[in-house]
Amino acid sequence: MITRPLDLASKLRPEPRSFDALFFVNAGLVGLFFLLAGSRFILAPGLSVDFQLPTFKGAAAGAAVTTHQITVERSGLIVIGDGPADPTRLREWLKAEGAKPGKHSLLVKASLGVPTGDLIGIWSAAHDAGFDVLLAAEEPAAPGGGR
């Protein structure tokens, strides 16, 4: 009865007895990959796929260029320039950015379902820090699916 017709096991080289330098190079590269893949530049922290801006007619007419932007999820997650923040950290960030010279404007990209009280708190903190505040919105889709 033939169980191993090519006898490949006898042709393999023996296992190494110690770790060579290539093992440590590979382990270092794998570690570097995981460090980079966990970076805020690769994986957005907590932003969901179903993020939707509110829509209203005339949203494009009020568009303006802003110097800063934040994203607010309905779950309460606030993402500022350097990662996720709670309301206290947001106020500190706004004060630090508002203290820099120049005119500052803030774009608040708030998802549908964010409570109005949260938006008013953000608006107030930004205004106190010297920012002009704009809320992000989209134009409603044209009937028939075209623009």
pLDDT of residue 46 exceeding 60, the answer is no
115-133, pLDDT tens digit by residue?
889 899 999 999 999 999 9
Residue closest to 42 by CA, chosen among 55, 51, 31, 33? 33
Contacts of 55 (CB under 8 A, 6+ apart): 137, 138, 139, 140, 141
49-106, pLDDT tens digit by residue?
567 788 888 878 878 888 999 989 877 788 887 788 888 999 999 999 999 998 999 9
What is the pLDDT, as a whole number, of residue 126? 92
What is the pLDDT, as a whole number, of residue 1? 45
User: Do 127 and 116 form a contact (C-beta atoms < 8 A)?
Assistant: no
Distance CA 25, CA 21 (A): 6
